[in-house]
Amino acid sequence: MPRKALITGITGQDGSYLAEHLLALGYEVHGLIRRVALEEPERRLSRIQHLAGRIQLHAASLESYPSIFHVIKRVDFDELYHLAAQSFVAESFADGFSTMNSNINGTHYVLAALRELRPACRFYFAGSSEMFGTVQASPQNESTPFHPRSPYGISKVAGFHLSTNYREAHGMFCCNGILFNHTGPRRGFEFVTRKITRGAARIKLGLDRELRLGNLDARRDWGHAADYVRAMHLMLQQPEPADFVIATGISHSVRQFCQLAFGELDLDYREFVKIDPQFYRPAEVDLLVGDASKAHRLLGWQPTCTFAELAREMVAADLETLGKTPILAGTG
Ligand code: F7E
């Protein structure tokens, strides 16, 4: 009998890579999606289109306990990966209420339904380096205190504590991944790395003349999402539930990513990147760099993709996709 996994957020970057990874390992993969996604499959299911027929999708809303309950009741899941969230930090400043509702209550609904129906199902919570916020020590590891700087970060701290509490109070197998920034060609367009690679490719192709960005001096520890989903799976295979930092251990600035991405296209980012205050955040996280030595030691996990390789892959993918659009075919 194959093991059965449910992924919330299967339509996102991480969900799609995780679904591929679990299928390759022989899992029966199920995904929780919003009903509205079924009405616009080309746009909303684009990252998992190539998996059609190999995964089973269930419509539910993170805002509705009964809808989550019914999905969890339907199948005897062995593992549940809770990745669904409002994950764009800037948006969480614009609408903190909906970020809190879906990220905190959504996590609580999933945990409560699991406890009621399938308490033996292993649970993964997608925690975030944004929980560290204004860092209290560097590099950050599993013992570093949290000091979140955004409603998003606060919602992830709450989710982390909820998951930990179900582990401690109800004996459930709950693991929290504390994942540092991870990206790749499937990244949403608003996140800075994808905004830069797509922007650079558009400029190269003559579709745009400039790219407007905010704080170029923020530093993050960026890895490849395909590497990071392997760690999620490994966490749930351990003898005991625990929390793990997943990171490369190397930080770079947004400016360095611009340099690399534009450089891939023989462009100088300084000619094209314009600073626009609207992309600054009311409270910034200046520096994040993770210490993943616990994951190296206990999970045998290592990242495989360097920062430069990441930029190269993303630029190449954006150039290829944009090069195929009809607008270019017309303009040569
Ligand atoms: O920003 C700066 C911005 O939006 C990175 C999410 O996956 O990782 C991600 O959160 C940095 C920030 O990601 C622009 O101020 C400059 O310092 O790509 P981002 P994030 O906020 O680090 C964590 C681990 C998560 O958990 C989150 O869900 O880049 N920045 N100029 C900009 N950022 C954006 N988005 N757009 C700009 O124009």
> pLDDT tens digits for 126-162?
999 999 999 999 999 999 999 999 999 999 999 999 9
Tokens of 219: 């530093």
Strand partners, 6: 30, 80
Q: Which of 220, 289, 307 to mutate to test the pocket of ligand 1 (most atoms within 8 A of CB)?
A: 220
4-182+222-246: CATH architecture = 3-Layer(aba) Sandwich (3.40)
- Cα pseudo-dihedral 297, 21, 13, 45, rounded to 10: -160
Q: Confidence class of residue 329 from pLDDT cuts 50, 70 and 90?
A: very low
Question: How far is 293 from 290, CA to CA, in rounded Å?
Answer: 9
Catalytic residues: 128, 130, 152
Tokens of 172: 């459930």
Q: What is the pTM of this model?
A: 0.97
**How far, CA to CA in Å, does 120 sit from each of 29, 78, 115, 138?**
18, 7, 8, 36
Ligand 1 neighbours by CB, cut-off 6 Å: 87, 89-90, 128-130, 180-181, 190-193, 195, 213-215, 218, 220, 254, 279, 281, 284
Closest protein CA for atom 8 of ligand 1: 181
Helix (H) or strand (E) holding 123: strand 122-128
Distance (Å) from CA 214 to ligand 1 centroid: 10
> pLDDT tens digits for 186-210?
999 999 999 999 999 999 999 999 9
Q: Confidence class of residue 326 from pLDDT cuts 50, 70 and 90?
A: low
Give residue limits of the domains in the chain.
4-182+222-246
Which residues lie closer than 8 Å to 132 by C-beta, 6 or more apart? Answer: 140, 144, 146, 147, 148, 285, 288
Distance (Å) from CA 128 to ligand 1 centroid: 12
Q: What is the mean pLDDT of residues 92-119?
A: 98
In the predicted model, what is the mean pLDDT of the chain?
A: 96
